Structure 1
Amino acid sequence: MNPRLFACTALALAFAAPISAAESQDNTIDLAAAQKRADATVAQMSAQEKTVITHGIMPLPGGGPKVDIPKDAIIGAGYVAGIERLGIPALRETDASLGVTWVSGARGDWATALPSAVSQAASWNPALIRRGGAMIGAEARAKGFNVLLAGGVNLARDPRNGRTFEYFSEDPLLSGVLAGAAIRGVQSNHVISTIKHFALNGQETGRKYVDVKIAPGAAHESDLLAFQIGIEQGQPASVMCAYNRVHGAQACDSDWLLNKVLKQEWGYKGFVMSDWGAVPSIQTAINGLDHQSGEQLDPGVFFGSQIAGKAAADKAWSARLDDMNRRILTAIYAAGLDKYPAPPGGAIDWDAHALVAEDVAKQGIVLLKNEGGVLPLARTAKSIAVIGGYADGGVLSGAGSSQVMGKGGPAVKLPVAGSGIWAGFISESYHRSSPMAAIKAQAPGATVLYRQGQYIKDAAELAARSEVAVVFATQWMTEGLDVPDLSLPRGQDALIEAVAAANPNTIVVLETGGPVKMPWLGKVKAVVEAWYSGARGGEALASVLFGDTNPSGRLPVSFPADESQLPRPRLDGSDWVEPDFGGNPKGGKDNLPTDYDIEGSDIGYRWYARTGAKPLFPFGYGLSYTTFTQEKPAVKGLSASVTVTNTGQRAGADVVQLYLISRAGENKRRLVGFGRVELAPGASRKVAMTIDARLLADWKDGGWTVPAGDYAFAVGSDAEHLGAAVSVKMKSRRWKD
């Protein structure tokens, strides 16, 4: 049996957004082939040259301890000097997964913002995600960058995590497949992509002091499997390690993660770069770290003269230094950085890129409720009240190192931290894509009026004299800070209650980084989850509200009814860690034990299946303006197919979700296959999937084991609502990666 089988959609599936011939080519890089050339270069390097590409600075004015910024650097996340004698180019690095970041406007330019990663994941569309990756990789290259710090694949173990919006989902298959697609897109531009943050990076509270406890089997079946699939499918040239600790060691200093799992078990041939300020000592080199990034944020520059001295005195250190260089060069050659230089000033097709961002936003919008068919809205509406969320100006964006901004910067910017070097990184900012303007364009004959909602009485009075009220509710998230709970801040729940009492046709649009509670759910007619919708979010949302786009998004994360349903109802460290972008404690402690063995590999929907609790909205949930039927799955060995029919009156897209529901007499709930399909009214199509055997297996004693017995599979409209089961007998199998 081939253990490296991936659940994927049939190649014949039709996706909403067309892909050009160039985009459709397989541009997966070949790290193994590049390694031979890297070996030859290492053999030519002098001792002094061997410590040039192993460390780099953050070339950002005011971004921490002062450094001299070389003339050939670009303001951004990182710079690593090249070696001209050997034809090794400098590395110019930029954040992040959602586009070329704004760095508080320090560079004086702009970029196209993709919707948040969780929004992208709601499309369940790898081809679309690849297009998005190709778009942001093209902009990075045009600006002169050759490394994009993209590929966030950490699983959403806790929806309060401030970086939930930067990651794809709570499921290892969905996250891994989508991360792989995004990385392929980025690297198709001869730009290195990372995959990050390796690994088990589940919260921002005290992020440098969270010490994760988890059994190796549970880790391999969840977070590590997401990374493994993402690496196999995307072939990222670099892995970025995380801030948190795992089993007592910093992730960037973890022999278990970096050497034993990544390099030995998985045979990864690229290089491991540190996160910025995540290197505690020179010993990290022995434990598997290959490159020190943003070195001025660490206690010292360990991978320069310090490691040179170690290498000169000790053969083991010398061999390790050679390997570090070999891995970095392998990445450079595999991505073609030396053959295809990326000088600044390249052309960018801004209109085409905006349309990519809009397509991603449209497919990621999830319709959660639509009582009485209140949506889509009629263009003949006479009056529409638009309330809250700065919807007259723009759409919300997540903050931190992933912050992207278009031309002119934010439409609205609210300071969160009033001073200090990180204040600009954690401001609440809104993209210049006004939902209100887009609504007006869709209903030109309507009177469309706006209230911000600070005064609830005023907003309710406007709603009462309008045919329809659309309330925009926001939940701002940022790197460096977790949200304390899943409520909507600033009294927005009370605002929604009042508007719904005043107008029976109240629609709530959620602009959130992840799940939120909805105490008002039974009092409103419709709920639309728009996430952080990027550069053209306003236009995408209006297209869904008025029916130009049939909503097809499906939740990539479960929405809890409240925090009591979570494995850790109280966020670890929330009682003593003051919010701080750097993740530093303020309570005199330097360790924050976090027990992931509570849920183990049963994250999200798997946890609900195990506990019997019912979430507010389950993983995979989403409504449409049409209806679909999915036939009983046909499963033979590791192959499966499902026929889908559009039984409604509108064209639309459905997402097939195939779950393992029992194994050898034991109840399970694991997504083992998925496929998105576009269908005209009355049309049918068969969706074919190949099941990754690891999703049926347990990881123990250094390998994967599939126990013998009956395996039951079912197709669901989501993880809670499943159709008839199909049972297949499986033989016992065991293998190692």
Structure 2
Amino acid sequence: MRQGRSMDIKKIVGQMTLEQKADYLTGKDFWQTQEYAELGVPAMFLSDGPHGVRKQAAASDHLGLNVSIPATCFPTAATMANSWNEELGEKMGEALGEEARAQRVNVLLGPGLNMKRDPRCGRNFEYFSEDPYLAGKMAASYVRGIQKNGTSACIKHFAANDQEERRMASDSVVDERTLREIYLTAFEIAVKEGKTKSIMTSYNKVNGVYANENEHLLRDVLRGEWGYQGMVVSDWAGSYDRVAAVKAGSDLEMPACKYGAEDVVKAVNEGRLDVKYVDECVERLLKLNESTRIPEDAPTTFDIRLHNDIAKKCAEESIVLLKNDGVLPINSGVKVALIGDFAENPRYQGAGSSIVNPTVLSRFVDKLTKDNVRHAPENKNYKQGVGTVGETPIEVVETYVEDMIEYDLDAVGYAKGFDRYGKKSDKLIKKAVELAEKADVALLFLGLDEVSEAEGLDRENIKINQNQIDLFNAIKATGKKIVVVLSCGSAVELSRVDGCSALVYACLSGQACADAVLNVITGKVNPSGKLSETFPVSYEDCPTSNYFPGKKLTSEYREGPFIGYRYYEKVGKKVQFPFGFGLSYTKFSYSDLVITDGGVQFTIKNEGQVAGSEIAELYVGKAESALPRPAKELKGFKKVCLAAGGSKRVEIPFDDKTFRYFNVATGRFEVEGGKYDLYVCASSDDIRLSGSIEKLPTTDVMPYKKTELPSYYCGDVKNVSDEEFEKLIKRDIPSSEYPFYKKNRMVIDENCTVSDLRYSRRWIGRFFSWLIRFTIGFCRTFGMRTTANTLVMGVLHQPVRGMAKFGGMSRRQMEGLLMMFNGRFFKGFGRFLSKGKKA
């Protein structure tokens, strides 16, 4: 097909054979869709990219084990959510879309929209918030930006995928109201307001049915209620029953899986699947293909300097000042000591499939001690521009050395201070103390390392490594002022560093992290970020601490809607730093609240001597309610920039989500009648203005009885009984136990994980599982934590079917393995050795 000519989609579908249609619904290879040149249908390229394009040179490098083509590494979603700036999110998204197009990527796999249900989730750095409204608004802004030039965003992982442990085999057991209000609302906003063209399903089951074949999620809610008409794609190797998936409306299976297509053809021929479902999927894929078509003459370069500046602006607006005893901003001429491994090797992004190879990386030691910038990777230079499909990477981008920003600080030197992976070293601490004694202020760079929070596994705790705390205490003993710069992708316990003079939360700020943090520390930028998640005093305070992660076969969401600030406020639990909190170098006052049927209006004034930005947050509560409710919930926000002494009239409108709740009795969102309390806040626990409004009910049907759900009505949800949880979910709790037919023995099927093989009937399965677990333990014992984590994510928790879905063997060989695991060794061995088509 010539470029610029539109497709006759109905005609193309009519010309395709059933086999071609079925093939089109599965990948051509690891990253591309099928192509049919004779029909004018080119392949589409899909690539990871929540905070930067990760186009791999190796065709099957799903985990990002090798270097990808350089791209701008923007702040992660967890960081950007702290900016509360939708316009900036859209600008970042536009840059992402431009880079994707330059690299000939049609579909960018991001952003991630799962909730920060628990701070231990290893992938929290890739998600926006504990609050669905904030997450949805930020995601919608990303999507609008990404899709401005034709690239498709792909929001993920739909849905209730809020833990990494056993994510491919776990069943999320959650009541319908909590599912709709907490875990689907962000997706709904991104679909309706962002108009995303693509959605990726999650690996897990949701209430007993795998998400990728879940008709309730895909047909009833996504396409039915929300009116979504775009593409649905499986996560990689996340398609379980391909026929059921097609019927549910999941269009594309990735990566390439020939036997999935064969199953579809067979089901149609046998009358088990109506061909209309196949045609619908094909049509949606063709529509996406047409809308994301990249002209041959489209630019293959992007403005590296401009995009780095956007990354820096995003980081600056996302940095949260959590504490300041007057030491910040640091005045010119002050002697500072840079201490901590993260000053030299900054923690600026997450770990796993979202890893980006940055075009340039600014480091704190370079900015204050060497006056140069490290290039990625390993200071190698590249030619300007970005390669097209098939070109070798890195021949196509030349990173630049940005103009040095002058910082009027007297850096006395740098000391590593600690081993980033936790190994204790008195020698490193001693050198750091000696350096600190020469300075007026110690800039102490603390946080989590790359293997403590990563895709595929959850954190063991929410503590900072003890060797970092030992360093902090040693520096504190010198009497010097300490400014802690914290780098991590989710909440950590901070009580043990409470004695610092200032605490700057950088989160994971992308490739321009050093410039952004130093601009804030020196006062070139007034911090304006606010927390998008609560920092608890300790993990034991978390509402999910008794339920996370789910063990064995299920993950029970017994806490219901009470996650994050919704729980802490309901039960009056003290926190370290509340949701929506963040300091500035100036002060803001709120006044003159006016409430109308359409929203709230009020005035914000900058009472200080420097310009600054303030984020006003609107919360809604209902003290007298027939429903179990949080004390209040975020329903709107606005970020405004004010000159010193300036003021502005601010309006936050109501929308269709302001007063709604999901009624499980009527099966739809309703409004409870009565008085609603409105709070204009500087953070979730800092109410500046308040008022109320009356609303009429949309139904008299109330779905709950207070006597049946006492824990939920009072919010004390940490120890919900089986009986009460069953009342909430309105069914029996599914068993979390393995289906043993005798002690520690069960039938192994393709959906069992490698970890589950320890319960197989034959020794070969048990030995293989033991070998993997032994290797993981060996790697951890001898300091190879990255290798251990890769084995956990890529092997131990991988279902047996993944061996075929990822192309390692044919389905026939996989079936042979299952026979061997289940006691039919010789027959299975013969089947394994026989020839069969690769998946």
Give TM-score scaled by structure 2 length. 0.72
Q: Deviations over 1:212-255 (max 9, x none)?
A: 11111111111111110111111111110001221122211222
**Equivalent position of 1:579 in the other structure:** none
Give yes or no for the alignment of 1:498 onto 2:471.
Answer: no
> Equivalent residue for 1:322?
279
Task: Report if aligned partners of 2:191, 2:226 keep a CA contact under 8 Å in 1.
Answer: no
Counterpart of 1:101 in structure 2 is 54
Partner of 2:19: 48
1:240 maps to which residue? 200
Q: How do 1:97-176 residues align onto structure 2 when only pairs under 5 Å count?
A: 97-101=50-54, 103=56, 104=64, 106=66, 109-176=69-136
Q: Which position in structure 1 is the counterpart of 2:556?
A: 595
Q: Is the 8 A contact 2:232 2:252 kept in 1?
A: yes
Moved more, 43-52 or 529-538: 43-52
In structure 1, C-alpha distance between the alignment counterparts of 2:444 and 2:401, rounded to whole Å:
14
State the distance in 2 between where 1:734 and 1:129 align: 38
Quick check: 2:122–2:164 contact (8 Å CA) kept in 1?
A: yes
Contact 2:415/2:431 (8 A) holds in 1: no
Quote the Cα distance in structure 1 between the aligned partners of 2:563 and 2:288: 33
- CA displacement, residues 231-283 of structure 1 (integer Å, 9 cap, x when unaligned): 11111111100012211222112222112211222221112100011111222
CA distance in 2, matches of 1:222, 1:342: 43
Question: In structure 2, what is the equivalent of residue 92 of structure 1?
Answer: 45
Aligned residues: 638
- Does residue 720 (structure 1) correspond to residue 693 (structure 2)? The answer is no
Offset at residue 526 of structure 1 (A): 0.4
Contact 2:305–2:400 (Cα < 8 Å) also in 1: no
* AA in 1 matched with 2:69: D
* Residue 734 of structure 1, CA deviation: 5.7
SS in 1 for 2:49: coil
Aligned to 1:465: 438
C-alpha separation in 1, matches of 2:343 and 2:208? 45
1:566 counterpart = 2:538: no
Q: Any idea what SS the aligned residue of 2:535 has? A: coil
Which position in structure 2 is the counterpart of 1:730? 695
Change (3 A) 1:603 1:451: same
Fraction of identical pairs, as percent? 32
Contact 1:709 1:729 in 2 (8 A): yes
Query: What is the alpha-carbon distance in structure 1 between the residues aligned to residue 345 and residue 175 of structure 2?
Result: 48
Where 2:503 maps in the other structure, the secondary structure is strand
Output the CA distance in 2 between the equivalents of 1:459 and 1:171: 39
Q: CA deviation at 1:37?
A: 5.9
Q: What corresponds to 2:319 in structure 1?
A: 365
Structure 1, 50-59 or 260-269: larger mean CA deviation: 50-59
Alignment of 1:192-591 (within 5 A): 192-282=152-242, 283-295=244-256, 301-302=259-260, 304-314=261-271, 316-333=273-290, 336-338=291-293, 340-341=294-295, 346-371=300-325, 373-381=326-334, 383-407=335-359, 408-410=375-377, 441-443=406-408, 445-453=410-418, 454=425, 455-476=428-449, 477-489=453-465, 491-570=467-546, 572-573=548-549, 591=553
Worse-matched range after superposition: 476-485 or 689-698: 689-698
CA distance, structure 1, for counterparts of residue 150 and residue 123 of structure 2 = 27
Q: CA deviation at 1:459?
A: 1.4
Paired with 2:209 and 2:329, the residues of 1 have a C-alpha distance of 52
Alpha-carbon separation, structure 1, partners of 2:404 and 2:484: 16
Q: What is the aligned partner in structure 2 of residue 702 from structure 1?
A: 667
Deviations 1:328-379 (A, max 9, x none): 123233xx223x43679701110001001000000000000001x1000112
Give TM-score, length-normalised by structure 1: 0.82
Contact map agreement 2:49 2:108 (CA 8 A) in 1 = yes
Deviations 1:622-678 (A, max 9, x none): 000011012253221232222111000000000010111325457631111100000
**Which deviates further from its counterpart, 454-463 or 660-669?**
660-669
- Residue 678 (structure 1) aligned to one of 617, 637, 641: 641
The letter of the residue matching 2:277 is: R
Whole-angstrom distance in 2 between the partners of 1:681 and 1:47: 68
| Secondary structure class of the residue paired with 1:631 | strand
1:387–1:612 distance in 2 versus 1, CA, 3 Å:
same
Rounded to whole Å, the distance in 1 between the matches of 2:29 and 2:654 is: 42
1:11 equivalent in structure 2 = none
Deviations 1:532-571 (A, max 9, x none): 1111111111000000000000000111111111122156
**Cα–Cα, structure 1 residues 220 and 388, in superposed 2: closer, same or farther, change >3 Å?**
same
* Distance in 2 of aligned mates of 1:306 and 1:213: 29
Counterpart mapping for 1:7-86 below 5 A:
38-59=9-30, 78-86=31-39
For the structure 1 residues 447 and 465, does the alpha-carbon distance in structure 2 shift closer, same or farther, using more than 3 Å as the test?
Answer: closer
Using the alignment, how far apart are the partners of 1:58 and 1:486 within structure 2? Answer: 39
State the AA in 1 paired with 2:309: L
Looking at structure 1, the residues matched to 22 and 446 of structure 2 have their Cα atoms a distance apart, in angstroms, of 51
Residue type matched to 2:54 in 1?
T
Q: Secondary structure at the match of 1:184?
A: helix
Kindly provide the CA deviation profile for residues 30-79 of structure 1, in whole angstroms up to 9, marking residues without a partner as x.
xxxx99964454334333331243111554xxxxxxxxxxxxxxxxxx11
* Other-structure match for 2:620: 660
What secondary structure, in the 3-state scheme, does the structure 2 residue paired with 1:222 have?
helix
Secondary structure (helix, strand or coil) at the match of 1:301 reads: helix
Q: What is the SS of the residue equivalent to 1:674?
A: strand
Task: Check whether the contact 2:233–2:252 (CA below 8 A) recurs between aligned residues.
Answer: yes
Q: Note the alpha carbon deviations across 1:392-414, whole angstroms, 9 max, x for none.
A: 244432111110112454569xx
- Structure 2 match to 1:14: none
Equivalent pair of 1:290/1:324 in contact (CA under 8 Å): yes
RMSD in angstroms over aligned alpha carbons? 2.6
Amino acid at match of 1:473: L
Look up the SS of the partner of 1:294 in the other structure: coil
Go from structure 1 to structure 2 and tell me whether the alpha carbon gap of 1:607 and 1:522 turns closer, same or farther (over 3 Å shift).
same
The structure 2 residue matched to 1:638, chosen from 598, 605, 619, is 598
Cα distance in structure 2, aligned partners of 1:342 and 1:668: 55
Work out whether residues 623 and 676 of structure 2, in 8 Å CA contact, stay in contact via their aligned partners in 1.
yes
1:294, distance to aligned residue in structure 2 (A): 1.4
The code of the aligned residue for 2:41 comes to I
Larger RCO: 1 or 2 (CA < 8 Å, sep 6+)? 1
The answer as to whether partners of 1:169 and 1:556 remain within 8 angstroms in 2 is: yes
Q: Structure 1 residues 462 and 152, CA, compared in 2 at 3 Å: closer, same or farther?
A: same
Counterpart of 1:305 in 2: which secondary structure?
A: helix
Uncovered stretches (5+) of structure 2, i.e. residues with no partner: 57-63, 360-374, 380-398, 419-424, 701-839
> Unaligned stretches of 5+ in structure 1?
1-33, 60-77, 413-431, 577-588
Change (3 A) 1:36 1:86: closer
Q: Which position in structure 2 is the counterpart of 1:20?
A: none
Match of 2:60 in 1: none
Amino acid across the alignment from 1:715: V
**CA spacing shift, 1:44–1:569, aligned 2, 3 Å:** same
CA distance in 2, matches of 1:544, 1:434: 21
Q: Secondary structure at the match of 2:577?
A: coil
Shift of 1:691: 1.6
Deviation per CA, 1:467-510: give whole Å up to 9, x if none: 11011112132111111111012521221122122233101000
- Partners of 2:595 and 2:497 lie apart in 1 by 38
**Residue deviations 1:81-103, cap 9 Å, x none?**
22223322211111021111164
Alpha carbons of structure 1 residues 313 and 394: separation in structure 2 relative to 1, 3 Å: same
